[in-house]
Structure 1
Amino acid sequence: MSNNLYRDIIGDGLWRNNVVFTQMLALCPLMAVTTTATNGLGMGFATTGVLLLSNITISALRAYITPEVRIPVYVLLIASLVTMADMAINAWLHELYKVLGLFIPLIVVNCAVLGRAEAFASRQPVAASALDGLMMGLGFTLALVLIGGCREILGSATLFAGASLLLGQGFAFLETTLIHDYKGFLLMLLPPGGFLVLGFLLAGKRILDQALARKKSATAVAPDGQMSAA
């Protein structure tokens, strides 16, 4: 696999084809669990694990899966992986399991997981599929943490509250209180706050993409302009 393909997969997963900011998928768990950055990080890790393992499994078995039954097989494999993830989180991160609740099993119906299986893993080798699953998952995690962080900061002036309880003592260093005795901004912790934060982040991404495109265009035409001026 060429370095250019590696870079394209990384860029697509984290930015250009981001599950949330570009594809607008998985908005249900996005709005439900991102009241804090900690919840978003936990949900992102769970989804990333499922994406990574499902891409690897489907890519490895793609030669044995006939086109007529591919979708049921993909759903069965993804459901099996989600069940294992659900049981693992319940066993080792029970507090996080209680917070995320139903949204862990609902990873099965996350269009991003099935979409990557159909669009990428079923057509590419294992290494490329593994990288695609990892990058798509990290891009999704980035979106969850950004939205959860913004909502948490505005809503309660904390960041990664409860990380040591939900994710383990190794994440205690993330816990931050920005303003003590903050009265709170309840709207940001309710569903309308999630939509507002998502809208502003989408607008910011579009503005940044347009600025980068203009800069790239100007850089591309600069040598010709210099030659004509000379």
Structure 2
Amino acid sequence: MSSYNYRDIFWNGFWRQNTGLAQLLGLCPILAVSTSFINGVSLAIATILVMAMSNATVSLLRNLIPYEIRIPVFILIIAALVTVLDLTMNAWLHELYLVLGIFVPLITTNCIVLARVEAYAAKNPALPSAVDGAAMGVGLMLVLAILGGTREVLGTGHLFAGIEMIIPGAQAIQVLPADYPGFLFAILPPGAFIALACLIAAKNWYEARQKHAQLQEKIGGVPAHHHS
């Protein structure tokens, strides 16, 4: 296990293969739940827990699962973990559970979870698999936090609306002036698509700039007579 570079595994899931910005997986919950920061981050945390646990569980059982029926078994394992999480949220965070609604049980069919179980956990030991699953979930949380926060501020002028469902007594922050009329388009579905497109464009621009800088550095380090 020492041969696994956990930092590289985490960075791969968090940035290089970010589920929302690079792989474009799980767009239904990303676009639907990112109307506010709290909603987006709450669903992302639930997804992190499910992905880490399902990856670790499948990895531990991978040699016992017949190849021909692996997908139904994977889904059964994921569904069992999601059910535990769903019932826990219903019991302890009932108001938030009602807000997130169907998207918590739908984690079972989220292609992000099944994709990492099939692509990574079924072929690697438990600890690297758990790190991979958690990293993919944290990458999703990054996207949902930025999307949710941006759309919430532009749409309502507030941030952290609904935080009282998690921390009793806490209140949302007024980010924009109190007389801000709100921008309804930001919290409607078209606003979600445009905001996500801007995030994807920003990631691609940043990576292109990094590659250009590295190329310039390599060219600058080559002796002058090699340029011909």
What TM-score does the superposition give when structure 1 sets the normalisation length? Answer: 0.93
Letter of the 2:49 counterpart: G
Alignment of 1:51-90 (within 5 A): 51-90=51-90
Partner Cα distance (1:117, 1:100) in 2: 24
Q: Does 1:213 align with 2:172?
A: no
Partner Cα distance (1:204, 1:225) in 2: 34
Alignment of 1:97-116 (within 5 A): 97-116=97-116
Q: Deviations over 1:38-67 (max 9, x none)?
A: 100100011111001000100011111110
Write 1 or 2 for the structure with the bigger share of helix.
1
Q: Please report the RMSD computed on the Cα atoms of aligned residues, expressed in angstroms.
A: 1.8
Structure 1 residue 161: deviation in Å?
Answer: 1.4
Q: Deviations over 1:108-135 (max 9, x none)?
A: 1100100000000000011100100110
Letter of the 2:136 counterpart: M
Letter of the 1:12 counterpart: N
Structure 1 residue 227: deviation in Å?
Answer: 8.1
**1:36, 1:148 within 8 Å by CA — same for their partners in 2?**
yes
**1:147, 1:198 within 8 Å by CA — same for their partners in 2?**
yes
Alignment of 1:90-101 (within 5 A): 90-101=90-101
Letter of the 1:143 counterpart: V
Counterpart for residue 166 of structure 2: 167
Change (3 A) 1:204 1:3: farther
**1:26, 1:111 within 8 Å by CA — same for their partners in 2?**
yes
Q: Does 1:200 align with 2:198?
A: yes
Partner Cα distance (1:59, 1:192) in 2: 39
Indicate which of 175, 196, 199 corresponds to 1:178. 175
Structure 1 residue 2: deviation in Å?
Answer: 4.9
Change (3 A) 1:169 1:217: farther
* Structure 2 stretches lacking a partner, 5+ long: none
Partner Cα distance (1:169, 1:227) in 2: 69
Q: Deviations over 1:186-205 (max 9, x none)?
A: 01111011011011111111
Q: Does 1:222 align with 2:220?
A: yes
Change (3 A) 1:223 1:31: same
Counterpart for residue 19 of structure 1: 19
Q: Which runs of 4+ in 1 moved over 4 A?
A: 226-229
Structure 1 residue 23: deviation in Å?
Answer: 0.7
Q: Does 1:123 align with 2:118?
A: no
Change (3 A) 1:62 1:4: closer
Per mean C-alpha deviation after superposition, the further-off stretch among 54-63 and 210-219 is 210-219
Partner Cα distance (1:4, 1:208) in 2: 27
Partner Cα distance (2:220, 2:2) in 1: 29
Counterpart for residue 133 of structure 1: 133
Change (3 A) 1:12 1:207: same
Indicate the SS of the match to 1:64: coil
**1:155, 1:186 within 8 Å by CA — same for their partners in 2?**
yes
